[in-house]
Amino acid sequence: MLHSLPKEDNYLQKGLRKQLVQVLRDKGIKDERVLGAIEAIPRHFFLDKAFERQAYEDRAFPIAAGQTISQPYTVAYQTQLLDLQKFDKVLEIGTGSAYQAMVLAEMGISLFTIERQKELYDYVGKMVLLKKYPAIKRFYGDGFEGLPSYAPFDKILVTCGAPFIPPKLLAQLKPGGIMVIPVGEDGQQKMLRITKDKEGNIEEEEMGDFRFVPMLQGRNPRP
């Protein structure tokens, strides 16, 4: 579990964040809105104080409940693939630390996000930084089900490795919408960008190899 979270965001962390943005640019991230959001969000608030510096290295990091906060490059790359437009209604599967959720909310969209681990869901509810983003609506539930009562969504982002494309999520994507989802077993996934055209036809593009924690069935109430 996380203890002593840092509260300060001073010139040191802001400087480290600028360097991280430069690293992401060098790795090919071009969407200025994504880079702006990464520059705005104090990622060190998501890690234990002892790891403040590591917060701005381009790597994933362990958080509570055996889960991870995604690598900044992966967050930026997935977000860029979504091609977000202002006022898009977005569904995220796998709230985790809520870092990705805040990057999305910082870009001015309306976000619905689902987490299956009760411990993480409760933990994020206590984060002070979350109050800055009223556009984030959180749900404790199973991402395979999506959120039928709030569907359809302009964009859907899956941040855990899915064994297959969940049919209910595909059904909750608007015509003209985009879903970004890593698909594959054993911590080895292909990033897919799925586009649904106005007639409901599906197009799939492969966008490279990634590693995610697995997308698991059902909710997990255990601490």
Catalytic residues: 70
Name residues contacting ligand SAH, limited to 180-219 (CB under 6 A).
213, 215-216
Q: Judging by DSSP bridges, how do beta strands 173-183 and 153-158 pair with one another?
A: parallel
Q: Which residue of 21, 29, 55, 120 would you call a contact of ligand SAH, by CB under 6 A?
A: 120
Q: Which residue of 94, 177, 182, 184 would you call a contact of ligand SAH, by CB under 6 A?
A: 94
Q: Verify binding: residue 169, ligand SAH, rule CB under 6 A.
A: no
Q: How far apart are CA 193 and CA 214, in angstroms?
A: 18
CA distances from 180 to 52, 84, 194 (A): 30, 12, 6
Stretch that binds ligand SAH, among 111-119, 125-133, 181-189, 195-203 (CB under 6 A): 111-119
Name residues contacting ligand SAH, limited to 33-92 (CB under 6 A).
67-70
Q: Verify binding: residue 160, ligand SAH, rule CB under 6 A.
A: yes
Q: Which residue of 34, 114, 156, 183 would you call a contact of ligand SAH, by CB under 6 A?
A: 114
Q: How far apart are CA 117 and CA 59, in angstroms?
A: 22
Count of residues touching ligand SAH (by CB under 6 A): 23
- Cβ of residue 121: shortest distance to ligand SAH, in angstroms? 9
Q: Which residue of 17, 116, 138, 155 would you call a contact of ligand SAH, by CB under 6 A?
A: 116
- Cβ of residue 216: shortest distance to ligand SAH, in angstroms? 4
Residues within the interface to ligand SAH (CB under 6 A): 67-70, 93-94, 96-97, 99-100, 114-117, 120, 142-144, 159-160, 213, 215-216
